[in-house]
Each structure stands twice: as C-alpha cells, then as structure tokens.
Amino acid sequence: MIVAATQFAPVAGDIDANVRAVSGLIRSAGADGARVVVFAELCLTGYEPRLIRDTPALALAENDPRLDPVREACRAVSAAALVGGPVLTDDGRLAVTTLVIGPDGGLLTRYDKQHLYGIEAEVFTPGTTDGRFELDGIRYATATCYDNRFPGLAERAAADGCHAYLSSAVLETGNDQFETVYPARSRDFGLHVVLGNVLGSSEAGQGAGRAGGWGPDGVRLADAGPDTPGYVLVDVPADRKAPAGR
C-alpha cells in the first residue's frame, strides 16, 4: 500500500481555495500510485482557531457540498484521503476533525482530535473515540498533532492490529516532534507512521513542512523537505515487518 504524505500552505479561511489544493494533490498522488493521501490538521480552513471561532460559515458538515471536489478526486484516482477541518458534531459543537473519504467518495470514518492544545480547548470539543479504517486488508489508525504527545493512542493502535498510524498535524519550525515523538511512536509500537504537515504561516506560526514517514524501526523513510509544496510516498507493507519507503 502506498501512502502519500502531503504539505501545502492553506489559505486562511478560504475553503474553496483549499479544497482546490487538496483535490489537486489527491489527483497527482493517486496518479503516482498512492492509495491513501494524508493532509494536515485543519487543512480545509488553515490552522486558524480564532478565525474559526469568529466565522460560523467555516463550520463544515460531514456531507458538506463544498467538499464535493475532494470526493470527486478520490473517485477519479481510486484513493482515500484524510482531510482536516472544523466539522460539526451531532450536538452542534465543533471538533478538530479528520474526515477519511474513501475511494468511492463515501465517508470511511471521522476522527475528532482527543487532546486539544491551548486555544483549541476554547473553540472545539475533544473527541472520545480512536480513529480506525481499513482499506485493501490494511488497518489504519488516525491521530492529530498534539495527540501524538500521548503514546496511548499508538499503543492502542498496535494492540488493535493497525499497520500504520496516520497523523495530520500543524508542526511549526523548531518543533521537536520530528526528532522525538514520531520516531518513538513508530519504534516503540512497530508501526509505520505517516505525517501530513503544513507550509506557510498560520496562528501556530510558520509551518515546517517535512511531511513524510517513519518505519517501524523509527528510521525516516521519506521527507518532503521544509519548503516545497507536494507530497512524498511511503510504502506500507501488509505484514508490519519490513520498512520501505521512497
């Protein structure tokens, strides 16, 4: 299974522009062989908690028609995509949500970030359920940025038979997670870890890029670099043993 780890600079508050960018990357990565495409946290609006708090129109629904181009892109290349945005819960609150849109354009699952950081706790409600989905016989776990500071998520993913741990994040320049957290999660629990991150500026600071993957030995398999929009590809073997990437 080939997983694409993406990075681009979202336009703050411009869902249409970000949907175009996401859709284009899905089509490109899918044409390059990716079966799953991982995007950054809140990539559909940019990481802008205060702007989201003050702009009700930025709230998304699971079946939001503004995401139709994303669904069409997934169908066009038969790939699943993990896209992040402020999505309404059943009780009308907002969550930092990852929507996993399947190769047929349908919703495979949603994951709401469990560990909120700073101002996020004033704007969003935390999730309570771990994210899981299966595709082509491979089981995936999902996590979002600050979640990764808590090893319990990866531990439960490994215990639940997941092959890969897919993280949507907003890691700024100088963030230590590239060297400390992601290698540890992969090495300690025998998982392939794939990270989608951001470029550009946001309320979190300057995006560091470096989307990519780590093998189950904690070694970097792919790194998109600090400043180039696009993606890198990571191979996830079904047996959870041999790391491989490009």
Radius of gyration of the chain (CA): 16
pLDDT digits (tens, 9 = 90+) for 124-135: 999 999 999 999
DSSP state for residue 82 in the 8-state scheme: E
**In the chain, count of helices (H) and strands (E)?**
6, 15
Q: What is the mean pLDDT of the chain?
A: 96
Does 245 have pLDDT greater than 50? no
What pLDDT is stored for residue 241 in this prediction?
A: 53
In this structure, are residues 74 and 103 in contact, taking their beta carbons and an 8 Å threshold?
Answer: yes
What pLDDT is stored for residue 244 in this prediction?
A: 40
CB count, 10 Å around CB of 158? 18
Which residue has tokens 């349908």?
106
Does 48 have pLDDT greater than 90? yes
High-pLDDT (> 90) share of the chain, %: 96
What pLDDT is stored for residue 238 in this prediction?
A: 80
pLDDT digits (tens, 9 = 90+) for 60-115: 999 999 999 999 999 999 999 999 999 999 999 999 999 999 999 999 999 999 99
Interatomic CA distance for residues 198 and 64, integer angstroms: 23
Model confidence at 26, in pLDDT bands (50, 70, 90)?
very high
Averaged pLDDT for residues 181-186: 97
Q: Which residues contact 92 (CB under 8 A, 6 or more apart)?
A: none
Q: Which residues contact 234 (CB under 8 A, 6 or more apart)?
A: 2, 3, 4, 5, 192, 194, 212, 213, 221, 222, 245, 246
What pLDDT is stored for residue 239 in this prediction?
A: 75
DSSP-assigned states of every residue in 173-207? TT-GGGTTHHHHHHHHHT-EEEEEEE-SEETTEEB
In this structure, are residues 226 and 209 in contact, taking their beta carbons and an 8 Å threshold?
Answer: yes
What pLDDT is stored for residue 240 in this prediction?
A: 62
What pLDDT is stored for residue 242 in this prediction?
A: 39
3-state SS, residue 237? coil
Q: In Å, what is the CA distance from 96 to each residue of 41, 145, 231? A: 8, 10, 23
Is the pTM above the cut of 0.85? yes
Q: What angle do CA 233, 238, 242 make, to 5 degrees?
A: 75
Averaged pLDDT for residues 166-182: 97
